[in-house]
């Protein structure tokens, strides 16, 4: 089995796992991964994470030309923005996960640090998450907003829409976006309860020990 075939199957397996657990429903969400030749595999437009076909994933070459598979997601500008501004990005995942979206609707949502520092893994896997304003789905302005961050964030939250996370590979990106949803859920569950967050000293220790992107 070739490396690309393995990657195709892994993308579909991880997408189905997230769909089966209710992290994104219907035909929402999109996923992409860098291939060994510098190209991309991307979920097709209108496809369901629960029923992705490895053989029908959109295929791009290293120059960004669509060379095979179905028509890609309309949110390609969002994916391209992460790949173009973060050299470490090997995969990008976008979900419409309910708790993260719900947290983005709250009037006091923090634009610079969307997720409160409740757990170490939320900090370690995501760094500081930027809350971006609402954009019409598929609007190229979403990609421009990500480019405006100059590669300083690995995760953003699109208000009223859903999270987007870039990772070093497909497994890292999926693990990180699941951590984002879990942290958003914790934030909502403890809302109004004055939860004990990580102290500034504990946060600083995590940032230093795990080389977390936190100051941008």
Q: What is the DSSP string of 9-39?
A: HHHHHHHHHHHHTTSS-TT--EEEEE-TTS-
Q: Looking at 4, 6, 9, 75, which residue is catalytic? A: 75
Integer angstrom CA distances of residue 149 from 89, 103, 145, 157, 190: 14, 21, 7, 13, 30
Closest by Cα among 161, 168, 163 to 213: 168
Per DSSP, 202 falls in state: H
134 has catalytic annotation: no
The encoded tokens of residue 160 equal 């009223």
What is the rounded CA–CA span in Å between residue 64 and residue 203?
A: 39
Q: Looking at 4, 121, 171, 213, which residue is catalytic? A: 121
| Environment class of 25 (CB within 10 Å of its CB; exposed 0-12, middle 13-18, buried 19+) | middle
How many residues in the chain?
216
Closest by Cα among 158, 173, 143, 153 to 80: 143
Neighbours of 124 (CB within 10 A): 16
Residues with a known catalytic role: 75, 121
């Amino acid at each position: 089995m070739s490396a690309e075939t393995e990657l195709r199957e892994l993308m579909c397996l991880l997408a189905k796992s997230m769909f089966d657990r209710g992290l994104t429903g219907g035909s929402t969400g999109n996923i992409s991964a860098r291939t060994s030749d510098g190209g991309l595999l991307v979920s097709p437009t209108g496809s369901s994470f629960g029923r992705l076909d490895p053989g029908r994933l959109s295929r791009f070459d290293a120059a960004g030309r669509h060379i095979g598979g179905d028509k890609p997601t309309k949110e390609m500008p969002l994916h391209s923005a992460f790949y173009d501004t973060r050299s470490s990005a090997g995969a990008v995942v976008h979900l419409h996960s309910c708790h993260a979206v719900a947290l983005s609707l709250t009037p006091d949502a923090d634009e610079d640090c969307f997720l409160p520092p409740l757990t170490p893994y939320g900090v370690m896997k995501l760094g500081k998450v930027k809350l971006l304003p609402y954009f019409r789905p598929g609007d190229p302005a979403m990609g421009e907003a990500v480019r405006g961050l100059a590669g300083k964030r690995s995760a953003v939250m699109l208000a009223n829409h859903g999270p987007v996370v870039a990772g070093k590979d497909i497994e890292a990106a999926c693990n990180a976006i699941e951590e984002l949803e879990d942290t958003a859920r914790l934030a909502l569950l403890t809302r109004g309860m004055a939860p004990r967050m990580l102290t500034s000293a504990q946060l600083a220790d995590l940032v230093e020990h795990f080389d977390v992107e936190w100051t941008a």
